[in-house]
Structure 1
Amino acid sequence: MTAVDTPVKHAGHAKEHVRGLNGLRALAVVLVFLSHKAHVETVDVGKLGVWIFFLISGFLIIGELHRNRVRVEAGNARREAVMCVFFMKRALRIFPIYYLLLLALTIAHALFYQRDVDLGLAWHYFFLSDYWIGVVKDGWPGTVSHFWSLAVEQQFYLVAPFLLVLTPASRHRAVCALVVLTGVAGHLAMHAADASEPLIYACSPLNFALLALGGLCGVLGRERGLARAAGHCSTGIIGALGVLVFATQPVWSTLVLPFSAAGSAWIDIGLALSLCVLFAWIANSPGSIVVSALEIKPLDYLGTISYGFYLFHNLIPSKLGFAPAWFAAPTWVHTLCALTLQFALAVLLAHLSWHLVEKRLLELKKPFEAAIARRLPARRLHSQTQPR
């Protein structure tokens, strides 16, 4: 959703483009759109989309923090500088368009927009949307409920640099594994306690486990073992089959006995692990036909502007584009026309947001990073420039 810095920086400062990630973002945001606008219920496509976003964010952010910790240990960077750069980049990427939108929503809500609905705007300002949905409201009212996943990622961004930059790089895999195990245990416990669906959906620690799973792919991805395993086509097939089986649970579970709460929890865990396997294969198979398909320009561009698309899409009126009742056409034609118009409008808004605001602000990253490097030079470089 927000971690869109697809180039991966290695310890040697070289950049390597991770093929297919923008295409994955595009698919994820389309799945979320279909969940909110087409009301697809056979498969929880919204969950699939958001979990893909979590895996991508964990892969990029934890991978970056891991490499920066390696630089710190080598004396090529200071912890303070690394953390300042991290928070600067996240702030430039997330805050401007998010708070501009919230400010516009606050004014519109006070005047005319969904005045009869509690949008919980105060909670969104502090990235507590998940808490508002799961604990305060215990439901999904309003058109800003999709902000919950942004809150989860922002909470992750607040903790991750302290957890990883201040921890030896050799322990990062153990840290991620511990987060995964804790998330799985917490998810099982919430189901066992018969927690409500909104509470589990928005506040389950399994969300953070998915970020950590993506992080494990980022930390391990350059090691020969994982890269070699992920390079086999069978790995991708296994992951894809797992996603298919667990994601279609609402369909095939009607043919057998209903699942218990514990069974539903394990289905979520199976889906998360299957998505992780499929994602690891894609991230480490740049030459595959699947990755080539994800690299086509329309998907790549939609992935580039996916943050704005995600922010705006659910605010577009769901009735927009539906023809009057007297217009003689099958129902599916009405629905298709409306969805096409709503999708096109969301793309237009995201396009304008990217070119007028987001892209211009992201161009400030390098000057700010250079200023931080001058202010907080690497200790090795600093010691070399001191007079003897």
Structure 2
Amino acid sequence: MSTKLFLPGLNGLRAIAALSVILAHVSETLVEKRILNTNYFGHFGGYSVTIFFTLSGFLITFLLLKELELQSKIDIKKFYIRRILRIWPLYFFYILLIVIVMKFTVPSTIWYYVFIVPNIPFALHLAGNSMITIPLLIHYWSLGVEEQFYAFWPWMLKNSKKIKKTIFIFCVAYFGLKVVLSILNAPIVIQSILLHTRFCCLAIGGIGACLYFENNKIVVFVKQKFVEILAWLIIVLFLLNVIRVFSIVNHEIIALLVVALIINQISNSKTVIPLENKLFDYLGKISFGLYIYNPLVLYFISFLLLETNENKPLKATLFIFSTFSAVILVAHLSYFYFEKRFLNLKNRFTTIESYSSNPNN
């Protein structure tokens, strides 16, 4: 028998992150096809992925803490079964789709994706290395980061006597390593891999979970209205590229702000922007599919609608509407007719069930 936890608003944050990623990819495609001259939403993608990372770090850590509280131990085997059933079916199904679309003529770098280290070719590509990325799989880099994080995170928590302190030390050490390598002008390839493997953002989510779990006085401060308003405002300004600090710390700042939003959503009845509603709940549920399928949907719709440059405003409008509609439809079908089969199986290995919408509705 599993224990059920109601954590409102988290599906809303997932929905915002997923839709922002799609918007960034749509904008990028319109620029590539010369329908638009400026990529107005180019920064939405990277920062939205950080929202996903922080959410994952928070939720995974909080559930493991609850498991420790209830059972005095973490069941590592069940943890990995749950993660595999949630991620691997769609992860590998989409790779199969891309191999078919590419008529089985894929570069040898496909093995980075198969063995769940797609962040390596992504980081090397951004560092100027000749490593061949697969365009329809380039967004898989973030899934590689999450899976690698899961590989060691439950072990670290299970073997730690002071979990919050351990996570904090890990976060500081990882961030410090990035800074030191940057100061020492280490090879750009190494810096790129560390920069895009955002374990620190996931760990910040974990620290937030520890603070919330123990009802730390910092949580009381974070739940003040001005803190939540400030967090929303700064995140929006980052997304619009109005403010930037340094690339080495931008995403950690976003992660800290997202923790503030998470805490307010799940524990503040007077949150400034409540995200607990049926639309966001629905989009949050299918957000994994929204993220996975959007490049493939973009590929086909751009082929159908953007091959010529006539009537640019009309084409841009039609393209945006068609893309969002098609991605939502595909993600809906995937969730209810494919993913849910594995999610139902996953529940057999669940000790703590979290709900991002009220299960009694």
Matched, 1:217 2:198: no
Work out the CA distance in 2 between the residues paired with 1:285 and 1:173.
Answer: 23
| The structure with more radius of gyration | 1
Work out the CA distance in 2 between the residues paired with 1:181 and 1:347.
Answer: 38
Gaps of 5+ in 1: 1-11, 254-258, 371-388
CA RMSD of aligned residues (A): 2.9
Q: Is the 8 A contact 1:59 1:217 kept in 2?
A: yes
Residue of structure 1 equivalent to 2:48: 49
Correspondences of 1:121-270 after superposition (within 5 Å): 121-135=110-124, 137=130, 141-168=134-161, 171-192=162-183, 193=185, 196=188, 203-204=194-195, 207-222=198-213, 223-249=215-241, 251=242, 263-270=246-253
Matched, 1:302 2:306: no
Tell which deviates more after alignment, 360-369 or 295-304.
360-369
Structure 1's 167 and 34: CA in aligned 2 closer, same or farther, altered over 3 A? same
Work out the CA distance in 2 between the residues paired with 1:25 and 1:83.
Answer: 26
Tell which deviates more after alignment, 217-226 or 336-345.
217-226
Structure 1's 20 and 199: CA in aligned 2 closer, same or farther, altered over 3 A? farther
Q: Is the 8 A contact 1:56 1:214 kept in 2?
A: yes
- Following superposition, the deviation at residue 130 of structure 1 comes to 0.5
Work out the CA distance in 1 between the residues paired with 2:15 and 2:348.
Answer: 29
Gaps of 5+ in 2: 29-38, 352-361
Residue of structure 2 equivalent to 1:337: 318
Residue of structure 2 equivalent to 1:381: none
Q: Is the 8 A contact 1:22 1:304 kept in 2?
A: yes
Residue of structure 1 equivalent to 2:93: 100
Q: Residue 364 of structure 1: SS of its match in structure 2?
A: helix
Residue of structure 1 equivalent to 2:341: 360
Residue of structure 2 equivalent to 1:36: 25
Q: Is the 8 A contact 1:236 1:281 kept in 2?
A: yes
- Figure out how many residues of one structure are paired with residues of the other and give that number: 333
Structure 1's 31 and 200: CA in aligned 2 closer, same or farther, altered over 3 A? farther
- Following superposition, the deviation at residue 276 of structure 1 comes to 3.3
Work out the CA distance in 2 between the residues paired with 1:123 and 1:181.
Answer: 29
Matched, 1:21 2:10: yes
| TM-score normalised by structure 1 residue count | 0.76
| TM-score normalised by structure 2 residue count | 0.81
Q: Residue 198 of structure 2: SS of its match in structure 1?
A: helix
Work out the CA distance in 1 between the residues paired with 2:130 and 2:156.
Answer: 31
Residue of structure 2 equivalent to 1:9: none
Q: Residue 221 of structure 1: SS of its match in structure 2?
A: helix
Letter in 1 for 2:80: F
Deviations along 1:360-379, one digit per CA (max 9) or x if unpaired, are 22112343459xxxxxxxxx
- Following superposition, the deviation at residue 188 of structure 1 comes to 2.4
Q: Is the 8 A contact 1:321 1:338 kept in 2?
A: no
Deviations along 1:219-278, one digit per CA (max 9) or x if unpaired, are 2114152332222101112222332454444x567xxxxx8xxx4434444344333334
Q: Is the 8 A contact 1:323 1:334 kept in 2?
A: yes
User: Which structure ranks higher in relative contact order (CA pairs < 8 Å, sequence separation ≥ 6)?
Assistant: 2
- Following superposition, the deviation at residue 56 of structure 1 comes to 0.7
Letter in 2 for 1:129: P
Structure 1's 91 and 353: CA in aligned 2 closer, same or farther, altered over 3 A? same
Deviations along 1:122-159, one digit per CA (max 9) or x if unpaired, are 11111100112223655755121100000000011111
Structure 1's 240 and 212: CA in aligned 2 closer, same or farther, altered over 3 A? same
Q: Residue 15 of structure 1: SS of its match in structure 2?
A: strand
Q: Percent identity?
A: 25
Work out the CA distance in 2 between the residues paired with 1:137 and 1:300.
Answer: 41
Work out the CA distance in 1 between the residues paired with 2:304 and 2:181.
Answer: 40
Work out the CA distance in 2 between the residues paired with 1:158 and 1:131.
Answer: 16
Q: Is the 8 A contact 1:183 1:207 kept in 2?
A: no
Q: Is the 8 A contact 1:55 1:214 kept in 2?
A: yes
- Following superposition, the deviation at residue 109 of structure 1 comes to 2.4
Q: Is the 8 A contact 2:289 2:335 kept in 1?
A: yes
Deviations along 1:288-330, one digit per CA (max 9) or x if unpaired, are 2412xx2232221111011111111112216145267486x3x
Letter in 2 for 1:67: K
Structure 1's 337 and 129: CA in aligned 2 closer, same or farther, altered over 3 A? same
Q: Residue 94 of structure 2: SS of its match in structure 1?
A: helix
